[in-house]
Amino acid sequence: MVLGWFKKKKNEDAGQAFDPTQATVRDLVQGAFLDYDLKTWEVREVFEYDWGDNFFSDEFLLTTADEKIYLSVEDGDDLFISVSTKIIIHDIEEDVVGYTIRNETPPMKLTYQGETYYRKSESIGYWRNVNNDKWTELVSWLYYDRDQKNILTIEQWGEEEFEASRGKVVQEFEFSNIIMP
């Protein structure tokens, strides 16, 4: 899943010792554990997005025994965090795929499960699983609900491959007990 609006500058703090007792969502790696929403989650996979101009964002696949969510972290001017799950794109009321193929951009307004979302941004970039060096190009569109608490993301990979996710904006304090591998 994408989140092209999550952009951060790569900042390599070479030479600074890492204190695992002070780990935050910015420090997560594969194999780490953390508590969120009264559950303990494991970081199963780590993804990186390159949005150009030395801006990057991170995404983490978090799992429990029976759930999976995506945690997206943008550490730019302000820390921006969201949690989302993939949804079936055809469950969105509008014909997102057909409209986007015809118009090279999705509609400005989308409806999912009775909630209306408004397009805020479009980001073009590259994605990779940090376990390999293969980058894949994508386009990501971010939508917010009226209260700007819930988000909907549409991603286009290639000419006709689309994915969608729905989630919410969260705060760093909602994550605790981070245990690094």
**What are the pLDDT digits (tens) for 40-67?**
999 999 999 999 988 899 999 999 999 9
Residue 141 lies in a domain: yes
Question: Which are the contacts of 160, defined by CB distance < 8 A and separation ≥ 6?
Answer: 97, 101
pLDDT greater than 70 at residue 5: no
Question: Which are the contacts of 47, defined by CB distance < 8 A and separation ≥ 6?
Answer: 58, 59, 60, 61, 127, 128, 129, 130
Residue 74 lies in a domain: yes
* Domain span including residue 56: 23-179
Domains: count for the chain: 1
Residue 3 lies in a domain: no
Residue 161 lies in a domain: yes
pLDDT at 22 (0 to 100)? 84
Q: How much is the pTM?
A: 0.87
Residue 1 lies in a domain: no
pLDDT greater than 80 at residue 7: no
Helix (H, G, I), strand (E, B) or coil at 54: coil
Residue 16 lies in a domain: no
Residue 174 lies in a domain: yes
Tell me the mean pLDDT in the region 165-173: 97
Which phi and psi angles does 51 have, rounded to 5°? -100, 10
Residue 4 lies in a domain: no
Q: Are 81 and 169 in contact (CB under 8 A)?
A: yes
Q: Mean pLDDT across the chain, nearest whole number?
A: 91
Q: Are 167 and 84 in contact (CB under 8 A)?
A: yes
